[in-house]
């Protein structure tokens, strides 16, 4: 079905929103069958020099000077104190902290990728437009959806975008339902996004198996339901088994089904949210496709939608114009833009390079190995740790230190801090909230069998140590550059200046 809209013309940043452009052009919602990235156009946009000069400072800024030698020594010292994905296993559940291959860095550093000014007009960024359009087609192929926006800069930003699309859909039908259903195991960003979008979050209980309780859901579904947000695999690392029934219930009141695809790493090439019947799906490219997740970004949370929602997508989208060139296009009923320029463009280029490098079979293998590694590690440690939901897991699983705490007073936090002494990054702790003393472990597909075996040995060793020497775990870490921090205080009252630190 063709989606009506307008070609914005010129720069993405100045793209007119719906109704502002004079000559709408109808285009077919299809992916351009183009070849490889065509590179950077050398045409440089003209900038109004007077305007720039008016904003220049009259005198130079006084900056402290430091020699290159001292600067290199400073950063090398800092880097050697850090634990990173390049150093070893980083089993931080829910975050997919996998190794990011070097070729993605090389792609990101290419002049045509990193050297382009975001304000460059369309005719100067044909290669970039091709990257966006091909990546959109890949995301649609992976998720089973019809069209996608690449603008949202994170998973949470994708959630907000998806909820605004949900509202646009209901408004187009003259409806204004107020409730969005969210399972109790969901990531905290789900209810936060729902509130930010002006909806009311309603909690759906999980059953004893850790999956959405269909009976519980049935009690909550009424005409005021705008939709459901479902994470799959859920944050316990479990694949929701009652999807058909859940979606039938929500669709029966014309609610929309939103798929939180942050855990896409488990399912690429195996199942697709679109085939399951979902209407909206965000994916965290920064977890699954070659960009580290953490440190606050940058990330990318594209939102893909079913055909019936394509006309509401944020502008601008890269599409083929009548003359065969690629241009910026704004769908007729667009909700407006959700990010400046093209989103976090370099993250998008990294993701595309990763998808093209691995290909369809390679991406499927990636997910299969992620699931295999998690199940292997789970079965290796299950005699030492209580696993509250013991069924076959997907790419991650949740262990509990509740028994160890009860017997020896050793908490999940003590295990996590002690694991750092063993040479590994800590797993996620105390999340999801439905598990007491949770240790959420996601080994990812990039660790070797030897590394996984060593990680398992360390976890087992710590459980044994808890029995005879709980005080050692309580005092850990002892050999890291900094000992145990008061993380809550550091977050609430950060010391941001040297003066404060020494004063």
Ligand X SMILES: Cc1ncc(COP(=O)(O)O)c(C=O)c1O
Residue 203: other Cβ atoms inside 10 A: 14
The angle that helices 155-172 and 189-196 make with each other, rounded to 10 degrees, is: 40
**What long-range pairs does 109-113 form, CB within 8 A, spacing at least 24?**
111/40, 112/37, 112/39, 112/40, 113/346, 113/349
Question: Does residue 154 bind ligand X (CB under 6 A)?
Answer: yes
Question: Does residue 260 bind ligand X (CB under 6 A)?
Answer: yes
The correct pick among 127, 227, 292, 301 for binding ligand X (CB under 6 A) is 301
The encoded tokens of residue 235 equal 């944050």
Listed in sequence order, the residues at least 6 apart from 489 whose beta carbon sits closer than 8 Å to its beta carbon are none
Question: Does residue 40 bind ligand X (CB under 6 A)?
Answer: no
CA distances from 451 to 245, 310, 447, 458 (A): 40, 44, 6, 11
Question: Does residue 156 bind ligand X (CB under 6 A)?
Answer: yes
The residue written with tokens 């145990």 in the block is 484
Question: Does residue 231 bind ligand X (CB under 6 A)?
Answer: yes
Segment 89 to 108, residues that bind ligand X, using CB under 6 A? 94-95
Nearest approach, Cβ of 442 to ligand X (angstroms)?
10
Nearest approach, Cβ of 164 to ligand X (angstroms)?
16
Determine the Cα–Cα distance for residues 139 and 313; give it in Å rounded to an integer.
15
Nearest approach, Cβ of 172 to ligand X (angstroms)?
27
Question: Does residue 189 bind ligand X (CB under 6 A)?
Answer: yes
- Closest residue to ligand X, judged by C-beta, is 155
Nearest approach, Cβ of 57 to ligand X (angstroms)?
36
Stretch that binds ligand X, among 133-141, 152-160, 217-225, 241-249 (CB under 6 A): 152-160
Determine the Cα–Cα distance for residues 100 and 218; give it in Å rounded to an integer.
42
Question: Does residue 283 bind ligand X (CB under 6 A)?
Answer: no
How many alpha carbons lie under 13 Å from residue 339 in its C-beta half-sphere? 25
How many alpha carbons lie under 13 Å from residue 417 in its C-beta half-sphere? 24
Question: Does residue 262 bind ligand X (CB under 6 A)?
Answer: yes
Stretch that binds ligand X, among 1-9, 28-36, 151-159, 352-360 (CB under 6 A): 151-159
The correct pick among 144, 299, 327, 331 for binding ligand X (CB under 6 A) is 299
The number of residues that bind ligand X (CB under 6 A) is 15
The encoded tokens of residue 120 equal 């460059």
Question: Does residue 143 bind ligand X (CB under 6 A)?
Answer: no
SS3 185: coil
Strands 200-204 and 225-231: unpaired
Segment 440 to 479, residues that bind ligand X, using CB under 6 A? none
- Report the residue number, 29 or 204, with the smaller CB distance to ligand X: 204
Determine the Cα–Cα distance for residues 382 and 376; give it in Å rounded to an integer.
10
Q: Would you give the binding string for ligand X spanning residues 159-188, x where CB under 6 A is met?
A: ----------------------------x-
- Report the residue number, 299 or 343, with the smaller CB distance to ligand X: 299
Binding site for ligand X (CB under 6 A): 94-95, 154-156, 187, 189, 231, 235, 260, 262-263, 284, 299, 301
């Amino acid at each position: 079905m063709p989606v009506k809209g307008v070609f914005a013309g010129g720069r993405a940043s100045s793209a007119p929103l719906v109704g502002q452009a004079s000559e709408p052009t109808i285009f077919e919602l299809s992916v351009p069958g183009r070849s490889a990235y065509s590179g950077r156009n050398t045409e440089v946009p003209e900038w109004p020099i007077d305007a720039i000069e008016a904003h220049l400072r009259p005198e130079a800024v006084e900056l402290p000077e430091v020699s290159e030698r001292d600067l290199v020594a400073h950063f090398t010292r800092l880097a050697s104190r850090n634990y990173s994905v390049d150093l070893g296993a980083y089993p931080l559940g829910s975050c997919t902290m996998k190794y990011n291959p070097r070729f993605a860095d090389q792609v990101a550093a290419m002049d045509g990728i990193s050297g382009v000014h975001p304000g460059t007009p369309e005719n100067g960024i044909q290669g970039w437009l091709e990257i966006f359009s091909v990546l959109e087609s890949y995301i649609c192929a992976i998720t089973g959806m019809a069209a996608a926006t690449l603008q949202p800069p994170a998973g949470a930003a994708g959630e907000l975008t998806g909820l605004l699309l949900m509202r646009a859909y209901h408004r187009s039908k003259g409806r204004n339902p107020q409730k969005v259903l969210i399972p109790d195991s969901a990531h905290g960003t789900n209810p936060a996004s729902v509130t930010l979008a002006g909806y009311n979050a309603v909690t759906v209980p999980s059953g004893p198996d850790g999956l959405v309780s269909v009976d519980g859901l049935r009690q909550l579904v009424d005409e005021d339901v705008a939709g459901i947000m479902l994470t799959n695999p859920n944050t316990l690392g479990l694949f929701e088994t009652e999807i058909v029934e859940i979606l039938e219930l929500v669709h029966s009141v014309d609610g929309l089904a939103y798929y939180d695809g942050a855990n896409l790493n488990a399912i690429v090439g195996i199942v697709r949210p679109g085939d399951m019947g979902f209407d909206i799906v965000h994916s965290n490219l920064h977890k699954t496709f070659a960009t580290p997740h953490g440190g606050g970004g940058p990330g990318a949370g594209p939102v893909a939608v079913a055909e019936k929602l394509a006309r509401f997508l944020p502008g601008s989208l890269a599409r083929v114009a009548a003359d065969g060139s690629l241009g910026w296009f704004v769908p007729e009923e667009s909700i407006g833009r959700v990010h400046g320029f093209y989103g976090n463009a370099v993250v998008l280029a990294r993701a595309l390079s990763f998808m093209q490098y691995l290909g369809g079979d390679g991406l499927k293998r990636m997910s299969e190995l992620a699931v295999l590694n998690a199940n292997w590690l789970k079965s290796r440690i299950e005699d030492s740790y209580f696993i509250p939901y013991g069924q076959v897991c997907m790419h991650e699983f949740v262990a509990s230190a509740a028994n160890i705490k009860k017997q020896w007073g050793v908490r999940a936090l003590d295990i996590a801090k002690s694991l750092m002494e063993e040479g590994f990054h800590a797993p996620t702790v105390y999340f999801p909230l439905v598990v007491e003393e949770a240790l959420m472990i996601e080994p990812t597909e990039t660790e070797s069998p030897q590394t996984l075996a060593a990680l398992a040995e360390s976890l087992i060793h710590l459980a044994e140590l808890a029995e005879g020497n709980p005080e050692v775990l309580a005092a850990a870490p002892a050999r890291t550059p900094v000992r145990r921090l008061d993380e809550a205080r550091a977050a609430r009252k950060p010391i941001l200046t040297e003066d404060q630190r020494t004063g």
